[in-house]
């Protein structure tokens, strides 16, 4: 049941962020839980060059973490579909 609730919550968060124009989610994950983010929520481990690009633009790089990212589906506003 908890897994289902996490999935529903994450789906709704992604949908709302996509509606606000967010294209990609980026998060630092502890090495021990990278598989949870990748298998459970569709995140992928960032290549080192991608990680460096984000750090260059002011994103914090936490020691001992793996940078993961996920591109969001583009959500169309209901108003624009009418």
pLDDT of residue 79: 46
Task: State the Cα–Cα distance between residues 54 and 51, nearest whole angstrom.
Answer: 5
Q: 36 lies in a domain?
A: yes
Consecutive 10-residue averages of pLDDT for the chain (82 residues): 89 95 94 95 93 82 90 66 46
Dihedral angle of Cα 20, 58, 27, 23, to the nearest 10 degrees? 30
pLDDT of residue 46: 95
Task: State the Cα–Cα distance between residues 77 and 82, nearest whole angstrom.
Answer: 9
Q: 78 lies in a domain?
A: no
Contact 25, 17 (CB under 8 A): yes
Range of the domain at 57: 2-72
Q: 45 lies in a domain?
A: yes
Dihedral sign for Cα 28, 32, 38, 40, please. Answer: negative
pLDDT of residue 75: 59
Q: How many domains does the chain have?
A: 1
pLDDT of residue 76: 58
From 10, 5, 2, 6, select the one nearest 73 (Cα to Cα). 10
Q: 79 lies in a domain?
A: no
Q: 82 lies in a domain?
A: no
pLDDT of residue 31: 95
pTM, 2 dp: 0.77
Q: 9 lies in a domain?
A: yes
pLDDT of residue 15: 96
């Amino acid at each position: 049941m908890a897994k289902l609730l996490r999935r529903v919550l994450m789906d709704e968060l992604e949908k709302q962020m996509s509606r606000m124009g967010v294209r990609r989610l980026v998060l630092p994950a502890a090495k021990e839980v990278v598989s949870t983010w990748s298998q459970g929520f569709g995140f992928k481990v960032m290549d080192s060059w991608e990680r460096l690009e984000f750090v260059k633009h002011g994103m914090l790089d936490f020691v001992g973490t793996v940078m993961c990212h996920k591109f969001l589906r583009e959500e169309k506003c209901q108003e624009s579909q009418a």
